[in-house]
Structure 1
């Protein structure tokens, strides 16, 4: 299992470098407009969210380890392809391949984790992976920051080479992970059963709503701080450090409180409430002219947000694993993981319009969505659990 952790850490370093430097690389070096970059990434993640289910199904049928190795190598190739992109068409194609490989890789790794760990340990082990993933992203972001500081074509190209090599190295490590036997399709059962599992699809939708917090630190809060508050613009860096360090130190401890579907539902409800209150606090930060007061309010909001983030992650990891049938973890994790891809795709457009235009009222609406999703999780889990029990009885 240490190798699975190592592979996750290595690929996260590549992800961090990509996240920090990609937008400026595509605009300053490739020459695309911000609108073209946004369009390409939106199309890419839309295609990737659909492909993740199919590639997760492939992991179930062909084995998650081999599938994960191939998709890690595919990610490396797609990152390398960005070095040769010179037009919007080529960029969209490369973005689609990148997103498909990333979504499929996530599903395959989750299926591999599910096959190698005891069900009672999956959520805690997933928390360890998340904590180390944040550490890897921070390291990669520092490398990307060097490229941003230098601002040269060669520096950006070097970051993309590092990203590609990180996924090659992750693929080599994944080859050493113990294999999980593939599960053939039984006679008479649908090939992609998750598409017919309405309760699980509802939970994947609720998970997606909760994941709308993802664009906050990368896009929404920097713009909110600079345009609506008296706080210094550098405060977003302090908030990001607070978020990353908190997940690294406390995510495993938070996850230990989740021991089954009931406690997972309770954590999801706590997450919805915490995220709701954090949004209310963020809305207050625009009131007054004191930079210190605004900074303090924003830091309180960031602390509440990361608590909600960790509770949401722990609860929904247990739900995603616990309600997926044996032998179908890949396709089920592919659908569940699509929530992150869709949040990346729709979140920036939705949240910038909602909050930067709507102001405090927009924060309240966003918080209400978190609160509603958290509240609906428990009845949705009970529905999904009954559905899985009835399917098992019919077999």
Structure 2
């Protein structure tokens, strides 16, 4: 575990900031749905619609806010956006009707997506290129550990099932984000990217077609996020004979595996070629995981279903770690110097898409399509993973901004 503690300096500060944020976020993810329905009084449909709108706004805001981080300096922009995220969380404590909820959810989604882009630009500026994927792996371990702690805190609130408990969780989340902003203030300032000379178009990620293609492929692969958090729990309860507590077992397996093995998996990635191979392997493992999840519905033995589901979840988390480490290398190496904010904002839009469209898409494919739906989803994962290798080769010559 000592190897997971970053050395003193900017990386340790970044890790501490991510930890403070993740602890609060873990509680929020566990409790937010019940808070919005039981305390605020919204229907499940209203909550789903509002959160979808919020992440759609975040999807649109990621690139311009990332560009702002490039132009104004990522440290200051990240701190401001962290304060905005905390403000949105505190506003959630006051909303009691649908329209204010949608407005606050939009503010939260925009600020959260922009904050992710600014943090990535900050990491790119403070960490040498050869070390970014390894550092990002350590940060991912910290994030998962923080989510686990926060999730346990949220579980206590679920047990109490009272308005004060849910309000406390949201307030703690806001304080965690504010603490992360305070920690970022101790980092050295990063110079802003100068404006493009007069008469020359400002470089934009949307003109970088190979990068756009890789972002689209990454969006498909990131559907594994709602797969494990939403589709799989519903599948277990509605379509298998496994005990209900299997849901908790699989989530613990996922979190613990990332904490223990993400850094080791990331060591296999050291350049664009190895990153492409890693993502291709992730597509293969995701196909196998989907096939195993589909097989878990066969038979009536709870223990056989449990074993098959554990195998499926193990395949899925291996793919998750491989995809993440490969994607980090690709997103950093192909972003032009000084443009990491807007490039990371665009590449990170896959997360917003997964949160926005993933639940509906996976519910339709998996819960209604059954085995055929699982295999179709696996084929999509495999296709995206395999296509990443030639897409990376096509993008490699454009890793530096072309002359205009």
Q: Does 1:155 align with 2:165?
A: yes
Report how far residue 387 of structure 1 moved: 2.9
Which deviations, in whole Å up to 9, do the C-alpha atoms of 1:314-359 show, x marking residues without a partner? 0000000000000100000000111001100000000011100000
In 2, Cα distance between equivalents of 1:155 and 1:243: 27
CA distance in 2, matches of 1:280, 1:132: 31
Per the alignment, residue 156 of structure 2 pairs with 146
- Structure 1 runs of 4+ with >6 Å offset: none
Query: How many pairs align?
Result: 393
Is 1:84 matched up with 2:90?
no
The 8 Å contact of residues 110 and 329 in structure 1, kept in 2 or not, is answered as: yes
Out of 42, 61, 66, which is 2:52 matched to?
42
Deviation of residue 79 (structure 1)? 0.2
Question: Do the aligned residues in 2 keep the contact of 1:4 with 1:174 (CA within 8 Å)?
Answer: yes
Aligned partner of 1:235 in structure 2 is 246
**What is the Cα deviation at residue 192 of structure 1?**
5.2
Match for 1:185 among 195, 214, 218? 195
Per the TM alignment, residue 388 of structure 1 is displaced from its structure 2 partner at its CA by: 3.4
| 2-structure distance, mates of 1:84, 1:189 | 47
CA distance in 2, matches of 1:68, 1:28: 33
The match for 2:221 among 198, 210, 215 is: 210
* Corresponding residue number in structure 1 for 2:77: 67
TM-score with structure 1 setting the length: 0.98
How big is each residue's C-alpha offset from its partner over 1:184-242, in whole Å with a ceiling of 9 and x where there is no partner?
12214433511111111111111110000101222111111111110001101011111
Contiguous gaps of at least 5 residues in structure 1: none
How does the TM-score come out when normalised to structure 2?
0.96
The 5 Å alignment of 1:287-306 reads 287-306=298-317
Q: Distance in 2 between matches of 1:225 and 1:10?
A: 32
CA contact (8 A) 1:254 1:311 kept: yes
Inter-partner Cα distance in structure 2 for 1:388 and 1:80: 41
Which residues in structure 2 correspond to 1:89-108 (within 5 Å)? 89-108=99-118
**Contact 1:217-1:236 at 8 Å conserved across structures:** no
**Structure 1's 11 and 189: CA in aligned 2 closer, same or farther, altered over 3 A?**
farther
Q: Return 5+ residue gaps in structure 2 as ranges.
A: 1-10
Instruction: Report Cα offsets for 1:249-269 as digits up to 9, x if no partner.
Output: 100010011000000000010
Partner of 2:144: 134
CA RMSD for the aligned pairs?
A: 1.0
SS in 2 for 1:179: coil
Counterpart residue number, 1:355: 366
**Contact 2:20/2:146 (CA < 8 Å) preserved in 1?**
yes
- Indicate if the aligned counterparts of 1:192 and 1:331 stay in contact, CA closer than 8 A: no
Query: Is 1:376 matched up with 2:384?
Result: no
Taking the aligned partners of 1:5 and 1:132, their CA distance within structure 2 comes to 7
